[in-house]
Structure 1
Amino acid sequence: MSDSDSDAVQCGNIDNGDSLLGLRVASVFVILVCATSGTLFPILAKRSTWLHVPQSVFDFAKYFGSGVIIATAFIHLLSPALEELASECLSPAWQEYPYALALCLLSIFSIFILELVAFRWGTGRLKRLGLGHDAHGHGVGSHAAHGPETPHATGSHEHFDRDDVDAEKQIHGGDGSDQRLYRHDDSEAVAQIIGIAILEFGVLLHSILIGLTLAVDESFKVLFVVIVFHQTFEGLGLGSRLAFIKLPPSYNYVPILSAIIYGLSTPIGIAVGLGIRSTYNPGSTTASIVSGVLDALSAGILMYTGLVELLAHEFLFNKDMVNASNAKLAYALGCMLFGCGIMALLGKWA
């Protein structure tokens, strides 16, 4: 058989057989437990009244998670997208333009415009309610991945938590002022939830795709071990961000629900891959196009989230960090670079 014939076969549907089928089925539950636990731990630990986790641990997880998310965007999403949309199985037209980079760029600007429109709409609504806002996004505009910065880093009228609302109710009684604060509280909550959805959308697409690949990949054992660490670290990064988002009590279920959805994403991908293992080939023309497009779009989402909403807001627009000691700043940067380095290293195998 000639090389061209061999390539043609590899680009079509193939039978992946039943090799290591039992272990592949077990991987559904192993990854489910690891990914969900890694995501839920920071959220539940932050809320726990008996598990006294030092603040330094949360700080480590938060900055470590930022590095993980950024490395995921570049190493685990954009790089595969470039390879998939440059596959020899695709028509020559796909080689004439860097479609993966163009789709990533489209995703970045789409998220930016979406946030800009939401910020302008939210700002207008707050003005009609007679409430202030922060130009750097401590109000509605801060909805992406991290939530508003620490409360004392904002002005006296820029952030209203539940204690502020209760205090205002006692002062104003039932004259309606507290209702304005509740409505402001709800506006911020909706904005925060939109941000969670944006971040999780990019992560979920990637998680489902690697689940599909794991279900049929010939190098299953190595890939399985790497993806367990990959999903656990990525879950830790996501969970550390969800843990610090400030929501009113009526929305407290959102971070936990988000963690559970993330934990289910890769197992669902594996289950689907096992179901179609006799016909699914991740290197086929259709699979390369679908995976490449989704990876490129997801890369743009996580790039924007990681660089703008995490790095910029955490280090440049956070007054606590701007005024922090050199030691604290070095620690935060070190944690972030460590998370980025670990996740980038995992890209060698997955």
Structure 2
Amino acid sequence: MAGLTSSTMSNVTLTSCNSDEEAQCRNIELAFHLKLGAIVAILFAGAIGVALPLVGKKLSAFRTDGPYFAVAKAFAAGVILATGFVHMLPDAMEALTDGCLPDYPWKQFPFSGCIAMIAALGTLMIDVIGTEYYERKHAKETASHEWVDVPSLNEAHSDGHIDAEHIHVVGMRAHAVSHTHSHSNGGSCSSIETLHKHEAHTHVHSNPISDDTTAHIRHMVVSQVLELGVVTHSIIIGVSLGVSQSPCTIRPLSAALAFHQFFEGFALGGCNSQAGFKSFSTVAMTMCFTLTTPLGIGMGTGIASGYNSNSPGALIVEGIFDSISAGILIYMALVDLIAADFLSKRMCCNRVLQVLSYVSLFFGAAAMSTLAVWA
């Protein structure tokens, strides 16, 4: 009896691993038409989302330095965070602990969480290396420049000439002997400058890289790293939808992906707009984001007839890529989108904007999390 039971369970497991859809909800023709509709819907949702901050940045409602954009970006950050935590990471855990995989090593270690952690740390390294690269590049471009300040009136002789000994070079800047010390207190809401004179000198202390330049560099790095994370998981979710032959799966997944693509595109478009890339780079990044998921759906549709989503190879690949995507998206949402904006001076000094952004953030996360009930 025990042998019969074991044999029966083994046959059931083998059958479930060899079939990837429930027979009662399998309709190849209807699924194909739904996939075509999903491609169109996701394509337009992503295109509109990423284009709004780029095309509408001259309008007050869509200016990247305006309050409306900050609130909308907080909503998009919540959507991306929920995508990583509620959608990608659980899917990865489910795939890498599936009964169709051997117990060793997949049941012995939480691979999904570990891979997501490694992906997040790897994203941190890319973030830091990218920032340092652009900072060094900017420093090299400005290293050969020297600025000579106009001397004060008490340095000039009556004939209008200035003694050469009255000019000295400090670092990369030339200063007059009589100059002013200007210290900026960046920790307060209003920029406070304290001017003081000593020894008839007026020094202007400044960082090698200005705050505006640093912010610009950060936007450039963030937009490129976010693009990397988006492309990685867009391929996987596109293929996952494309290989499905079940209308019961495709309908809710299409709606969830269209919603997700719109707000993810809005966040990416906002970062690209703030980064100020050249037109070619902006168009290339926009097209890459817009087309990746539809192309993934097309690829999945092409291999659907011979693809078994419950095969060990498919489960491992899906689980690993979902884990990587989860780690990248969680890091980007928490560090480069949420923390960067919510800890900024503009947010800290505007309580109304802060409250609205928090509400928008939680609402975006809740909305995307709710979609996990159906997709």
As a proportion of its length, which structure holds more strand?
A: 2
Of the three residues 269, 286, 293, the one matched with 2:296 is 269
- Structure 2 Cα separation of the partners of residues 195 and 215 of structure 1: 30
Paired residue total? 300
Secondary structure, counterpart of 1:2 in structure 2: helix
Matching of residues 26-105 of structure 1 within 5 Å: 26-47=37-58, 55-93=66-104, 94-105=106-117
In structure 2, the CA distance between the partners of 1:201 and 1:10, relative to structure 1 (3 Å rule), is farther
Distance 1:333 1:339 in 2: 10
RMSD over equivalenced CA pairs, Å: 3.2
Rounded to whole Å, the distance in 1 between the matches of 2:20 and 2:369 is 31
Q: 1:284 offset after TM fit, Å? A: 1.7
Contact 2:77 2:267 in 1 (8 A): no
* Per-residue CA distance 1:318-346 (angstroms, 9 max, x = gap): 11112222x32111100011101101111
Match of residue 341, structure 1, among 357, 362, 366:
366
Alignment partner, residue 118 of structure 1: 130
In structure 1, which of residues 225, 230, 238 is the aligned counterpart of residue 265 of structure 2? 238
Q: Which runs of 5+ in 2 are unaligned?
A: 1-6, 145-189, 192-205
Q: What are the residue-to-residue correspondences of 1:265-304 with 2, within 5 Å?
A: 265-304=292-331
Compared CA separation, residues 256 and 233, structure 1 to 2 (3 A): farther
Structure 2 length as normaliser, TM-score?
0.70
Q: Aligned partners of 1:307, 1:301: CA distance in 2, in Å? A: 10
For residues 99 and 125 of structure 1, the distance between their equivalents in structure 2, rounded to whole angstroms, comes to: 38
In structure 2, the residue matched to 1:259 is 286
Q: Distance in 2 between matches of 1:28 and 1:241?
A: 20
Deviation at 1:68, TM superposition (A): 0.8
Residue equivalent to 1:207:
234
Q: Deviations over 1:168-227 (max 9, x none)?
A: xxxxxxxxxxxxxxxx99xx56x6444323212222222222222222435424543443
User: Residue 11 of structure 2 corresponds to which residue in structure 1?
Assistant: 5
User: Per the alignment, do residues 84 and 107 of structure 1 end up closer, same or farther by CA in structure 2, a change over 3 Å counting?
Assistant: same
| Structure 1 position 126, deviation (Å) | 4.5
Offset at residue 253 of structure 1 (A): 4.1
Gaps of 5+ in 1: 132-151, 162-183
* CA drift at 1:127: 4.7
2:240 is aligned with what amino acid? T
Contact 1:71-1:340 at 8 Å conserved across structures: yes
Q: Distance in 1 between matches of 2:221 and 2:267?
A: 17
What TM-score results when the alignment is normalised by the length of structure 1? 0.75
Q: Tell me if 1:158 matches 2:202.
A: no
- Percent identity of equivalent pairs: 26
